[in-house]
Amino acid sequence: MTHRWDPQRYLAYADERGRPFVELVARVRADDPRRVVDLGCGPGNLTALLAQRWPAARVEGVDSSPEMIERATRDVPGIDFRVADLRAWAAAADEPVDVLVSNATLQWVPGHLDLLPALVDRVAPGGTLAFQVPGNFDEPSHVIRAELAAEEPYAPHTRDVAVPAAHGAAPYLRALQGLGCEVDAWETTYLHILDTAVDPDPVFTWVSGTGARPTLQALPDDLRPAFEEELKRRLRAAYPDSGHGVVLPFRRVFVVATRPASH
């Protein structure tokens, strides 16, 4: 089963999700790129920031979700958005990209470390590949979902769902250095404060728009409500409100790799 993304649910915490993108792009040293591509652009709200940063560039957004591209095309004028699989895009023979950005996308591509050579090949000499992936897969928000999904009666429906995974900064750094790139790699853990007065189950809202979404969509309609209620209950226990909101720790891994200029 191929899951479908919900742009509205994804944008529920747009500010929190957008901060890593801003901090990633801030480390890109490109003065006047001609072509900038956002690979895994989602609803396009962050792609718009690339057009603001480099107004003379041709900015493009690519995403495998028709729902996300429909939303991006509607809400963000002046940018070329299109539906494409990331792996097919990487393998295509096309003009080089001066700045290639991928924000919270590669974790959905199994074996994506092996995809890095193809992505670097799409970057022009002297250009930049910049990406960010979550590094929080051992946190309760993921562990609880996996444990519940493995229980009956849910397990037969969720056994083969897509599950995100990523590496720490060091494996990416070594792989890209091996490709001849100059690499800047780092990790940051954000402590997001989520207001339960606005949303009584904020961690559920967060994960249901991203990591838990394939699991939720894989469940039949008669099982999904019970699963959601139990997931909410366990997440509330794991992320209590201390009186100042729910604290959601979120580790992220950042990489900015510059391809050598041709000699």
DSSP secondary structure, 18-44, as one string: HHHHHHHHTT---SS-SEEEEET-TTS
For residue 165, tell me if it sits in a domain: yes
pLDDT of residue 73: 96
Is residue 253 in some structural domain? yes
Rounded Cα–Cα distance for residues 32 and 53 (Å): 10
Report pLDDT for 230. 98
- Residue 163 inside a domain? The answer is yes
Question: Is residue 263 domain-resident?
Answer: no
| pLDDT of residue 2 exceeding 70 | no
Give Cα 224 to chain centroid, integer Å. 25
What residue type is 191 in one-letter code?
Answer: L
Contacts with 194 (C-beta within 8 Å, 6 or more apart), sequence order: 13, 202, 203, 206, 245, 246, 247, 248
The pLDDT confidence band at residue 3, using thresholds 50, 70 and 90, is very low
Residue 1, domain member (yes or no): no
Residue 248's domain comprises 7-258
Share of the chain above pLDDT 90, in %: 84
d(CA 54, CA 249): 32
pLDDT of residue 262: 72
d(CA 259, CA 179): 8
Residue 123 lies in a domain: yes
Q: What is the mean pLDDT of the chain?
A: 92
pLDDT score, position 7: 44
Supply the pLDDT for residue 245.
95
At residue 1, the pLDDT reads 42
**Coil, strand, or helix at residue 173?**
helix
Evaluate whether residue 203 is within a structural domain: yes
For 51, the enclosing helix (H) or strand (E) is helix 47-53
* Residue 150 covered by a domain: yes
Tens digits of per-residue pLDDT, 183-219? Answer: 999 999 999 999 999 999 999 999 988 778 899 999 9
Question: Which pLDDT tens digit goes with each residue over 222-257?
Answer: 999 999 999 999 999 999 998 999 999 999 999 999
Per the structure, how many domains does the chain have? 1
Strands 123-134 and 58-63: unpaired
Closest C-alpha among 199, 17, 2, 15 to residue 104:
17
pLDDT digits (tens, 9 = 90+) for 6-18: 444 444 456 777 8
CATH number at residue 194: 3.40.50.150
Q: Are 187 and 169 in contact (CB under 8 A)?
A: yes
